[in-house]
Amino acid sequence: MTLETYWLALLGLLLAGYFVLGGYDYGVQMLHPLLGRSIGQEAQHTGRNTALDAMAPYFLGNEVWLVAFTGVMFGAFPHLEGTLLSGLYPLIVAILVGLVLGSAAIQLRGRAHTARGHRWCDVLIVFGGVLPALCWGLVLGLLLHGVPHRADGSFHITPGDVLTPFVLACGMTTTLLFAAHGAAFIALRSAPEPAARAAVMGANLLRAVGAAGSLALLLTLFGAGASMTNRVTSAVLGALFAASLAAAWQYLSRGHHGRAFAASSSATLLPVLLVGAGHYPYVLINSAGTGLTVHQAAADGATLKILTAFGVVVIPVILAYQTWSWWVFRGRTGRRHPSYF
């Protein structure tokens, strides 16, 4: 394995880790107002806090994966960074806006002393989950389909590039997938009563994910969807995605919450692998199926060697931190850890 391939695999690992860990954050934010809809007002308020408490010990800590992904892209793939971030600028800004508003609302919700204040915080929390989840799906859809390259190799997206059936189907698939992943996480972490309601929500959402994903697949089969370089690899990853969704649905329906979360985590990271492995050796393609290769996007060999020494230290630290935090705050909320926000 060359250094370029090694760093591409590491880049994919970091983004996949963010999709898994940040994805359930977005899902919890989207679902938390729904957990107490059918019960009394006091219980409804408690149910909402229960949903947020499920992710509270890991809140904002999961964003370290996005920071690490951005740092690796800046250092190891400067030509990809310059092209990708500038071309996807509107969607990147929307993701950051959602992150900021959602994070602020979660932390300020406990300080709101009026019903109106709680409602505004709830709206911003949901908005801060939906907007990044949708925009990440749109980004994936654009990368799978191919971006509109200019003569100088750069690109700039327009509303017409985003508002296509395939890209919108990818955005809907990712939004629903993150919501289902968040439901599986709540089922794993919460007390039995909200966990049971979250499991029902998650199972229903997984059906919707399957429908949206099937639409994207049909568009691809009819030539209006993804432009894949490695079709066999893409087909295998697509089959694994469908199998992960089916397993997550089955485990949630049977009350096996730990297995359901593992299956939904697998489904959440597979779209990232589809973009990377399905397009290799390209890291960015246009609608014609050609584009920027790994070799063209990567930094020079000397830079990659220096970064490798750095990565050998930093990546294990990130993994150790995540493992430690999950171990310390293991168990369901309401038992060992009654409240955080």
- Residue 335 in domain: no
Q: What is the pLDDT of residue 239?
A: 97
User: In this structure, is residue 321 part of a structural domain?
Assistant: yes
pLDDT at 85: 85
Look at residue 48 in the predicted model and tell me its pLDDT.
52
Q: Which two tokens stand for residue 245?
A: 């969704």
Task: Flag whether 338 is in a domain.
Answer: no
Q: Is the bond leading into 148 cis (omega within 30 degrees of zero)? A: no
Q: Kindly state whether residue 121 falls inside one of the protein's structural domains.
A: yes
Residue 337 maps to a domain:
no
pLDDT in tens, 225-276: 898 999 999 999 999 999 999 999 999 999 999 999 999 999 999 999 999 9
What pLDDT, on the 0 to 100 scale, is given for residue 1?
Answer: 66
The one-digit pLDDT tens for each residue of the chain (341 residues) are: 688 999 999 999 999 999 999 999 999 999 988 874 434 444 444 445 677 888 878 877 788 899 899 999 999 999 888 888 888 999 999 999 999 999 999 888 878 778 888 889 989 999 999 999 999 999 999 999 988 876 666 788 889 999 999 999 999 999 999 999 999 999 998 888 889 999 999 999 999 999 999 999 999 999 888 989 999 999 999 999 999 999 999 999 999 999 999 999 999 999 999 999 999 999 998 876 678 899 999 999 888 988 888 888 888 888 888 888 888 887 777 655 555 55
Domain membership flag for residue 93: yes
Residue 211 lies in a domain: yes
| Domain around 323 | 3-328
* Rounded Cα–Cα distance for residues 172 and 81 (Å): 26
pTM attached to this predicted model: 0.92
Q: What is the pLDDT of residue 289?
A: 67
- Whether residue 333 lies inside any domain: the answer is no
**What is residue 326's predicted lDDT score, i.e. its pLDDT?**
84
pLDDT of residue 53: 80
Q: How far apart are CA 248 and CA 48, in angstroms?
A: 24
Provide the number of structural domains found in the chain.
Answer: 1
